[in-house]
Amino acid sequence: MLRIAALVLLLANALLLAAQWGVFDRLTGDGGAASQQEPERLARQVRTDALQILSPPAASAALVAAAASAAQAAASARSALAVACLEAGPLGPADADAAERSLRDAGLAAGSWLVLKTEDRGEFMVYMGRYADRDTLQGKLDQLKRRKVEAEDVRSLPELQPGLNLGRFDNKPAADAALARLLQRGVHTARVITLRPAQTQTVLRLPAADAALRGRLAGVRLAGGLAFGGCAGAGAPSAAASAASAASAASAAPSASSASASR
């Protein structure tokens, strides 16, 4: 019995030794034991011909360059995915229609933008003039002072000079009421003129424009040289709105809305 156990143990040791030397690998075509040992295994896993040994400064520079490249790629990806709110206006009715046509021409589907409308009640002035010369204007100003009526020389609107401003109002009923009070105080040559007519103003807003859409709208120019820009913050007028208001006030031709009898 012991003899049989000894023979089995000897056979097992022989088989283990043969496996370590790769006898079975050669029989199965796996390349032999030498191919499974170091450094042959390492040679198969690493392309030594592609390795390059760098000095410490060069290695640091390579790491910095790789980090910068990764950061730039990440920033570009974030920029492409980020959305922003864009708007243009305020625009008058005709200009708003033209602006919507520009959006459709840029490839935007109808309904992909918001149409925000507000009522602009206009701007009006109680006015006296125009006078033939500055001397005449000064004489009228002296008369008003004697009646304790406040007035000032019109300076910002050349088409109304020389003339006197007796008050500016953001709606016509208020201007008409001021004129009625002046008539009661003996001022008969004043009248209400329109600086900016009452109208409906429109703002076109794209609440979530991605980078591609922002690029397409960058070259779109609307009436008065307006363009799509960032949406105005709550309670703060946009630069486009301020520019439109100033241009409208400067270009509107004043018109008389009520005639008055001479003194």
Number of Cα atoms under 13 Å in the Cβ half of residue 30:
15
Q: Which of 35-44, 91-100, 246-255 has the highest mean pLDDT?
A: 91-100
Q: Is the pLDDT of residue 36 over 80?
A: no
Q: Decide if 185 contacts 150 (C-beta within 8 A).
A: no
Strands (E), the chain: 84-91, 114-120, 123-129, 152-153, 163-169, 191-196, 199-209, 229-230, 255-256
Supply the pLDDT for residue 206. Answer: 86
Block residue for tokens 């191919």: 35
- CB neighbours of residue 169 within 10 Å: 20
pLDDT in tens, 178-212: 999 999 999 999 999 999 998 888 888 888 888 88
Residues 52-65 have a mean pLDDT of 78
Q: What number is the average pLDDT over the span 47-58?
A: 72
Tell me the longest C-alpha to C-alpha distance in the chain.
Answer: 148
Residues 107-162 pLDDT 10s: 888 788 888 888 888 999 999 999 999 999 999 999 999 999 999 999 889 999 99
Q: What percent of the chain has pLDDT over 90?
A: 27
Q: Note the residue count of the chain.
A: 263
Residue type, 127: Y
The pLDDT of residue 183: 94
CA distance 67 to 53: 20
Poorest-confidence range of 16-30, 145-159, 200-214, 228-242? Answer: 228-242
Average pLDDT score, the chain: 76
> Of 144 and 67, which is predicted with more confidence?
144
- pLDDT tens profile 70-115: 777 666 555 545 788 988 878 888 888 888 888 888 888 878 888 8
